[in-house]
Structure 1
């Protein structure tokens, strides 16, 4: 369910700046200490999660990572605010166990008004992105808000996922379409 929030409040700007600094530190030096600081920002982070350099997110508090998930270089997660005064508890980015997130993948849970006059208010809308267990997102995949990707699915490199997709399937293209069952 799409939720609205104002990302240009002083509080949320400050939160993003502090999270972006942790991401920058991790990119400059992907040491265990910087990885530990990065993982502490997530709502939850499973065991044996591996994150390569270049990881970026806005807030982190609505991101859930399952065990043994691998996130390759330059992953960007545009997540919604989830801090004391702004609770969007029913909106999250949930990446299951044993997932492979290719390089340059973007998970974009935030969107804006399409109508130009309404867009002037600068509101953000956030909706879930759910990636079930054992999913492989190839390099450069973009996943939009409101999408559920079924377990054991592969999304081919460069695809744009605009709608929820089936489990045990291979998807490809822009927009991503089902190529075959796995």
Structure 2
């Protein structure tokens, strides 16, 4: 295993890693090139758009729609289920695995983050970071301009109100909203 492969594995395992390595930057640029092609393609060319997504994402269901523009860091760490819809300006920082279930609807301007940085400025300036995975269950609706922070798990049958900042795990069958998001209503 090369030095870079070791750092990549540390990233995936949630350990502190050297995010400033040239190989990470090269992979980020490779992803941005594919995203540039996706984001600048005629939106009527749905087969080609879906083909780019299938080549970019770690895995995805048969029926997926992602409105342009879409942004992510690597893509290969994103796993999306069946009947997935994301509206304009979805951003996913996928240094760790992001798992999204079936029948998930994501509103415009939603951000999902896995990257974490040290609070200490001296450590942060060394370009070290770690990542924590995000998991979103089945039958989830994420309202526009919401943000899901690193390490969060969202249960099944959840509605996240527009503009919410989800800082901790959300159980199944609830509506959450606010900053930080709190349970507003139980659905079951």
Q: Deviations over 1:52-108 (max 9, x none)?
A: 10100010111100000101111000111xxxxxxxxxx410000000011110001
Q: What is residue 34 of structure 2 aligned with on the other side?
A: 22
Q: What is residue 166 of structure 2 aligned with on the other side?
A: 161
Gaps of 5+ in 1: 81-90
Distance 1:59 1:153 in 2: 27
Q: What is residue 137 of structure 1 aligned with on the other side?
A: 142
Q: What is residue 40 of structure 1 aligned with on the other side?
A: 55
Preserved contact between residue 22 and residue 34 of structure 1 (Cα < 8 Å)? no
**1:4-19 pair list within 5 angstroms:** 4-19=16-31
Gaps of 5+ in 2: 1-12
Structure with the higher fraction of residues in helix conformation:
2
Cα RMSD between the aligned structures? Answer: 1.2
Report which of the two structures shows the higher radius of gyration computed on alpha carbons. 2
1:121 aligns with 2:136: no
Number of equivalenced pairs: 172
Superposition TM-score, scaled by structure 1 size: 0.90
Residue in structure 1 matching 2:82, options 67, 71, 75: 67
> What is the Cα deviation at residue 7 of structure 1?
2.4
> What is the Cα deviation at residue 126 of structure 1?
0.7
> What is the Cα deviation at residue 6 of structure 1?
2.3
Preserved contact between residue 3 and residue 127 of structure 1 (Cα < 8 Å)? no
Superposition TM-score, scaled by structure 2 size: 0.87
1:105 aligns with 2:110: yes
